[in-house]
């Protein structure tokens, strides 16, 4: 009798615990959904980019992953593998300061860019810009015979920055920790591109000026001609699929 009651009590406690766990999980899912729904379209687009960058940043901390990260997550014209790193290096940061600075700038300009382009076009431009800026860096290093590896989202972020500055040149910007110092977006992008151009000519190596300049040029191009290119994406995709079918035959 006592054993039977003990089993019933234990079964009841397990049911109660199971219901509590289920309620807690449901509450957590609802809280996450409410938080996600409260985000702006720009923040929702920025979030997965941030997660990918954080994952790559974490992989750099794993000693056994170091060789793989050096091979695929750094862009180097002298490397055995060149193509994939031009894309993957866009999500790769080694230092805390590097990833913080890049993600801060991207978040600052992503809302305006997403509102102007839409989420799908923004992601297409961002990923394409990462590859294009890496390509400019590879070509510059190969042409000037400068060895070295590059990593980081700076080139793609420069595209977003240049696009916003070209679309809204009269917008007033300020510097972090110096909010009283303001300047127009149009003037800012001219100064930044001027510095990067000088860096390419003078051979400065502290930043990847070729990637920055390539990203900025891509952003200005998209601000002026992106709508026309985007409008033709369906016909371009159909042409691409026709080429694939022809090759398969």
Q: What tokens were used for 218?
A: 């891509």
Helix (H, G, I), strand (E, B) or coil at 249: coil
Strand partners, 184: 172
pTM of the model: 0.83
pLDDT at 3: 47
- Domain spans in the chain, listed from the N-terminal domain onward: 35-248
pLDDT at 117: 92
Catalytic residue annotation:
154, 212
pLDDT at 240: 80
Strand partners, 175: 178
**Residue 42 · residue 117 · CB < 8 Å:** no
pLDDT at 112: 93
Q: Which residue numbers in the chain have pLDDT < 50?
A: 3
**Residue 233 · residue 223 · CB < 8 Å:** no
CATH number of 35-248: 1.20.1540.10
């Amino acid at each position: 009798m006592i054993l039977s009651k003990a089993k019933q009590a234990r079964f009841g406690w397990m049911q109660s615990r199971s219901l509590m766990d289920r309620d807690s999980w449901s509450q957590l899912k609802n809280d996450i959904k409410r938080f996600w729904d409260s985000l702006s379209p720009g923040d929702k687009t920025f979030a997965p980019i941030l997660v990918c960058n954080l994952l790559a940043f974490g992989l750099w901390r794993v000693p056994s992953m170091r060789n793989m990260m050096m091979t695929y997550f750094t862009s180097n014209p002298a490397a055995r593998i060149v193509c994939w790193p031009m894309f993957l290096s866009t999500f790769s940061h080694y230092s805390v300061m590097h990833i913080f600075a890049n993600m801060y700038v991207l978040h600052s300009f992503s809302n305006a860019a997403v509102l102007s382009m839409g989420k799908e076009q923004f992601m297409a431009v961002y990923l394409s810009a990462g590859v294009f800026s890496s390509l400019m860096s590879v070509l510059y290093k190969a042409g000037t015979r400068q060895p070295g590896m590059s990593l980081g989202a700076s080139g793609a972020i420069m595209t977003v920055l240049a696009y916003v500055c070209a679309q809204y040149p009269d917008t007033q910007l300020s510097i972090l920790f110096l909010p009283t110092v303001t300047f127009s977006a149009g003037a800012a992008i001219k100064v930044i591109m001027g510095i990067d151009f000088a860096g390419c000519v003078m051979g400065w190596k502290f930043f990847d000026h070729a990637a920055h300049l390539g990203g900025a040029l891509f952003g200005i191009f998209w601000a002026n001609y992106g709508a026309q290119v985007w409008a033709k994406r369906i016909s371009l995709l159909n042409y691409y699929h026709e080429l694939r079918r022809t090759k398969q035959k």
